[in-house]
Amino acid sequence: MPKVPQTSPATGLPTSSSYIYTLDCHFVDSAGRTLLLRGVNLSGASKAPVGHLSYLLEDFWDSAEAGGESFVGRPLNIDDGSADVHLARLRGWGFNMLRFPFTWEAIEHAGPKKYDYEFIDYTIRVLQKCKDYGFRVYLDPHQDTWSRFSGGSGAPYWTLAACGINPKHITDTQAAIIHCEYPLAHAPDPAALPAMIWSTNYGRLFSQTVFTLFFAGRDFAPDCIIDGVNIQDYLQDHYIGACGVLADRIREYDNGSLLDDCIIGWDNMNEPFEGLCGWDDLNTIPARQGSTLKKGPSPTPAQGLRLGMGKAQTVDHWTFGMFGPSRDGTVTIDPKGRKLWSDGEEEVDGVHPKWGWKRDTTKWTLGTCIWAQHGVWDIETGYIVRPDYFKYHPLTGQEVDFITDYWKPHFVAYTQRIRSAHPEAIIFVQPPVFAKPPKFEEDDDCLQGRCAYSAHYYDGLTLVTRHWNWFNADALGLLRGKYSSPLQAVKVGSGAIRKSLQEQLALLQSDADILGPYPTIIGEIGTPFDMDGKKSYGWTDKGKFKGDYRNQEKALDASLNGCDGSNGLNYTIWTFCPDDHSHQWGDGWNMEDLSLWSPDDVWNDVQQQPGPLAPPKLRGTPAISSPSLDTLATTGSIGSLSTLGLKRFGHSLARNSPPNPYDFLTNGARAVRAFARPYPSKVVGKPLDVKFDIGKGLFRMVVTVGPEDRPEKGLATEVYIPLVHYAHPRLLVQGKASTPSTNKRPQLRRRKTSKLSNDARSTNSSTLSLSESIRERAQPSEDLEMANRSSDTEQGCIESGSSTSLLCDPSIPGPLSLSPPSPTPLLVDVEVKVSSGTWRVDGQTLFWWYDVPAEGEPPREYTIEVKRQGGVIKSTDVNRRRKGKKPRKLEEQDEKSWCERVCEPESVCVVM
C-alpha cells in the first residue's frame, strides 16, 4: 500500500483522522489500513412518499398534478425511536456503509426550482443519526425508468409535461408499465404484475424518448426548446441543481460536520440509460441492448413510435423461463387513438400556468411525436424514414458513443457541482448497467484522486425467475463476448455457479482499471425473497415452508461469496425497507421483494420499536465512537444497558426492548446467515484471500503485509465476527438469555506461545501501552499457530509474563491496563487460529496484531481461521427458534437437491 499522504489529493488541504483515501485500488484509512466497506441501501422505500406504495392508484395522479407530496419520513422515522432500532440492527449485522437513495422528485416535486427544504432538513437529521451510529454514507440520486409516473422512480411529475408527454396515456399506449394501472388503467389488478416486468420499460417508448432528450437532446431533438434552452440543458440543469441544493444544505449544517466524517461521497445518477442513442435500427431490438429485458409485450422502437401516436400494433410477446427469454406468440395493443403526446391545451402561447415555463412552439408542435417532427418517421404511413437516425451524429455524420459523447459530459458537470459544496467528495462512477466507464485524462480535472467505481450486479436468472436453480449462466461473459456459443456460458451445480459469479464480479472489478488505481464498490447486489410462489411466507404446501429461507440463503450467499475470495469487493446490498415491507406487496415498489428484513417475518411478540431514544452525545466521548451491539441487550438478561455501554451515550431504552441480541438480529431478518458474514473491515496490509464457508461456519483469510504497511502504534487488523454465526451458547437458550456468571477477579488464560524475545521483560506497572504490550510482551514466531478458546469474561487477551496478565478493557481495542475491568458478558464463542500474532475479541470485533516487516525485508503473509466452538448454527435452527422449537441436532443435514449432492460446493460442474 502506498504511504498515506497527509494532504488531500483533491484540495491539497490537511486531512483529518477520519479521512478515507482511494489509493491503490482500495479504500484506505488515515493510518494506512485497507478498508472493506460493506453495507446496505437505506432504503428502497425512499422511491415514494410515505404511504404511496406503487400499487396504490388512489390520488396517484391528482396529488402529482397538484405539485406532489413531501417525502418527509424517508428513509427512517427519527421522531418515534424506530430509527435507532433499525440502525442498531444494521450495525449489529456488521454493516459499516450505507448507500443512501434519494430522488429528484423528493427535492423538487412542487415545480421547477421550488425546493422542499423541509425534506432536505429532515434528510440531514437522518444523516446525523446515521453518523451517530458510526456509518459511512454515500448519497445516491436514484432513478428507475425515469419517474414514479412512468413505472419507476426518480424525476418529478412536471418533467413529463416539460417533455411534451401526457402521463395519463402512458398505459394506453404501452409506452411504459405503471404498477397501479396494470394491466389496464380502467381495470387495474396490481397484484398480477409479473416479476421484474417493470424493467421492460427501458425497452419502451417513454424511457427511450426521455433519456435521449436528457442526455442527447441538443443533437437529436434540436427543435425542443423550453425557457430558451434545449430540453437536454433544461432537464440536466434542474437535475444537477436539485442535487446541488441538497449538497449545499449539508455543507451548511453544523459547519459541515457531516462531510467526510459521515458522508464520504456521491453516486451519480442511478443506472443511467442510453435511450435510443447509438441504436442501429429502429425496426429491431438489438441483442446487445443488455438493459432491455424481453418479457411480456415487447414492441420494437418503430412499433412504439406508432403506438405513441395512437395506432394499433401487433407485437411479439415473450416469456422468461428457466432457460431465459423465449418468444411465445404475439399480442395486439390498441390505444384506440389515445396519444402519448400532450396536446398542450393548458399552455397559452407556450407558457404553462402551473409550472411556469415558456415553450418555443414555433418549432415544437405539441400533440405530435417529436421524433416525427425531426424526420425520423412518417406518421401517416408509419414508415421509418431514418431507421439509423440515432446511430450517427446528425451534423457530423460520425457514429456516436453514448458513454463518451453523452454520459461523460453530464457526469463531469454533475461532479463539478457536487464538489463545489463537498470538495473532498469521493465520486462514485456509475455508467449504465454492465457498460464500461470512459477513460478520464489527467487534464479532465474531474476525478482528482477521489473516485470509486460503482457497478451493480444481480444474479439475473434468480432475480427474474424467482427461483434458485441448480444451473445458471455467465450473463456478463455472454454480453462481453467471452463465449462463441450461449451453451458454453451455462454453469451446472453449486460450485460452478459460485465460481462463475465470482468471475463475473472480478470482470466488473477490472473495469475500474480504465479509471485508474481506484477501488470498486458493488452499489447494488441482492436476491429476491418471494421465491417459488412465496412458499417461505407459508403461501404454499399448507404452510410447511413458512419461515424457511434456505434457498434464498443459498442464492444470496452465492452472490456475496462472489465479492469475497481474491476480489475483496466492497458492496451495499439492495435493500433494507424498515417499515413498508409486507409479504403481499414486497418492498412496496413494483412487486420487488429484496428487503433483508420484514415486519411480517417477526416471529414472536417482541416489540421491535422501543420508546424514544435520546440522541447519542458523541463529541468528547472516549473510546467508542458509536452505539454497538451491547446496546441491544436487556436489563436482567445478559447485562444491563448501562453496563454494556448505552448509558455513556445518554440513551434510555423503554420497556419493550428485545430479549437478547441473537433474537434481535434474527427476528424479522431473512437469510440473515448469508449477509451477516465475517469480513475484515480494517486490514494492516492487504487481504489476499477472504473465504467464508457458511455450511461449516468457517472463516479464513490470508493477508500480505510489507514494510510500507506499518500502522500507528497499537492499531490492529479488525475482523467482524457475526453473532448470527458465532453466538455464545448463553444467547441460544429459548426465551430470554440466561444471566452469565461473571468473575470478580480476572482469569489468567495461558496459551501456546513462542519464547519471548530477548529484550522482553516482566513488569508490575499498572499500565502498559499497546505498542509495548504487543511488541515486547508477546511476539510469536511467524509460523506459529495459536488456538484460543473463549472464557465467559474475556477473549484473546495478551499474556504479558509469568506473574501478571494484561486484562481486556471491554470498550477499547487492545489490552490496556492491569486494573480489573467491569465484567462484560461475551457475545460470541469462537476458536481462532492464527499463523502468527496475537488476537482478542471485543463484542463482534476480532482484533489481530502481527509483526510488520522492517524496511528492506520482504513482505509476509499471515493466515487466520475462525470457527464456532459450539458447532455451526444452522439456518434451520433459526427457523425452529422462530417456531418456538428447540434447535435440532448438529449432525442433522440441510436438504440437498440431487444436483447439489452430485456437485458439492467445492466441485466445478460445467456444461460445455
Q: Which residues, other chains included, contact 378 with Cβ-Cβ below 8 Å and sequence gap of 6+?
A: 372, 385
d(CA 306, CA 308) in angstroms, rounded, equals 5
Q: How far is CA 373 from the centre of its chain?
A: 42
Treating both helix axes as pointing N-terminal to C-terminal, what angle do 117-132 and 82-92 enclose, rounded to 10 degrees? 50
d(CA 47, CA 906) in angstroms, rounded, equals 40
All cell numbers assigned to 588:
412496496
Amino acid at 48: A
Asked whether the beta carbons of 43 and 596 are under 8 A apart, the reply is: no
Question: 514: alpha, beta or left, given left = phi > 0 and alpha = psi -120 to 50?
Answer: alpha
φ, ψ dihedrals at 473, nearest 5°:
-145, 150
Amino acid at 378: D
Give the residue numbers annotated as catalytic, written as ranges. 271, 524
Quick one: which of 558, 554, 549, 543 has its CA closest to 530? 549
Buried b (16+ CB within 10 A) or exposed e, 3-38: ebeeebbbeeeebeeebbbbbebbbbbbebbbbbbb
First to last CA, the chain: 40
Q: Which residues, other chains included, contact 642 with Cβ-Cβ below 8 Å and sequence gap of 6+?
A: none
d(CA 892, CA 895) in angstroms, rounded, equals 9
Element holding 830 (H helix, E strand): strand 830-834
User: What residue spans of 422-467 are helical by DSSP H?
Assistant: 460-465
Asked whether the beta carbons of 154 and 104 are under 8 A apart, the reply is: yes
Element holding 122 (H helix, E strand): helix 117-132
Q: Is the dihedral of CA 879, 882, 887, 888 positive or negative?
A: negative
Residue in this structure with the C-alpha cell 425534506, named with its chain if needed? 119
Treating both helix axes as pointing N-terminal to C-terminal, what angle do 231-252 and 205-220 enclose, rounded to 10 degrees? 100
Helix, strand, coil shares of the chain, percent, nearest 5, are 30, 20, 55
Strand order in 324-333's β-sheet? Answer: 296-298, 313-321, 324-333
All cell numbers assigned to 820:
480489573
d(CA 256, CA 168) in angstroms, rounded, equals 43
d(CA 489, CA 147) in angstroms, rounded, equals 35
d(CA 719, CA 696) in angstroms, rounded, equals 18
Strand partners, 136: 97
All cell numbers assigned to 241:
441543481
d(CA 349, CA 339) in angstroms, rounded, equals 22
d(CA 151, CA 201) in angstroms, rounded, equals 7
Length of the chain: 912
Buried b (16+ CB within 10 A) or exposed e, 774-805: bbbbbbbeeeeebebebebbbbbbbbbbeebb
